[in-house]
Structure 1
């Protein structure tokens, strides 16, 4: 047990186009805009370990207490890394419970994402956001089967 308090803050995603990503997360998954920030390059460069200039713009979206930070760089060219796979150490995916998987899957392309066709069933689906981030959709019926949270 730690002697200090720890509280979840946010998950950050680097995005190529913040408006496109906002449209995806707000329109498809129901996130709401919270606030945005243009932090100074000198402080940000130290934290993100990238050389200046950066031109970081951070957009914070919220859904059910989960905070998603969309980071874009106006003074750097962002690039896609290797497509992550589920047995690669590190963050593999972000999961959302939805009431109608088929309806959400049907709208993924409309909001700029892609469906991992081989990974779609009546109770689960894997999709990618416009920048390729892997997202898992799980039927909200699954929530009733989970043990109580601590």
Structure 2
């Protein structure tokens, strides 16, 4: 029986840039890093011939964000016209104690927002921004 969501994985173009963003700007803690290792069964596990990823496990509030940078095969970027209506996982969400303050902080850091903090329903404030590779991240205060 399943008991919880373990983690979400994000494939990125530049793992160092993404680690810097999620660690230094958002506040995740890097707990593990792996470089491509031919002894690991990556190709078999992810069903990609020649798979050679760099991997980082980042934690925030007990949640793991797993970053992958595939050196081989090289991944395709998120399409410029990607929207939350497109099929597949559309965003990750971060819990905030003050969405408006976090919005202001991230804007000062140059983060691109899709929306300003909005009271979605009484007592629930949300907004969305783009991460380093165009991935969509929600900030949610309840």
TM-score normalised by length of structure 2: 0.78
Please tell me whether the aligned partners of residues 18 and 132 of structure 2 are also in contact (alpha carbons under 8 angstroms). Answer: yes
Q: Give the Cα separation in 2 of the matches to 1:23 and 1:14.
A: 15
Unaligned runs of 5+ in 2: 119-124
Q: Give the Cα separation in 2 of the matches to 1:77 and 1:44.
A: 14
Unaligned runs of 5+ in 1: 143-150
Residues 120 and 109 of structure 1: is their aligned pair in 2 closer, same or farther, counting only changes over 3 Å? Answer: closer
Partner of 2:134: 132
- Which has more helix, going by share of residues? 1
Q: Give the Cα separation in 1 of the matches to 2:98 and 2:107.
A: 16
| Structure 1 counterpart SS, 2:22 | helix
Partner of 1:120: 116
Residues 79 and 5 of structure 1: is their aligned pair in 2 closer, same or farther, counting only changes over 3 Å? Answer: closer
**2:43 is the counterpart of 1:45:** yes
Find runs of 4+ consecutive structure 1 residues off by over 6 angstroms. Answer: none
Following superposition, the deviation at residue 101 of structure 1 comes to 2.2
Please tell me whether the aligned partners of residues 36 and 57 of structure 1 are also in contact (alpha carbons under 8 angstroms). Answer: yes
| RMSD of equivalent CA atoms | 2.4
Q: Give the Cα separation in 1 of the matches to 2:53 and 2:111.
A: 23
TM-score normalised by length of structure 1: 0.74
Q: Give the Cα separation in 2 of the matches to 1:60 and 1:73.
A: 15
Residue range with higher mean Cα deviation, 62-71 or 30-39: 30-39
Count of aligned residue pairs for this structure pair:
134
Residues 109 and 15 of structure 1: is their aligned pair in 2 closer, same or farther, counting only changes over 3 Å? Answer: farther
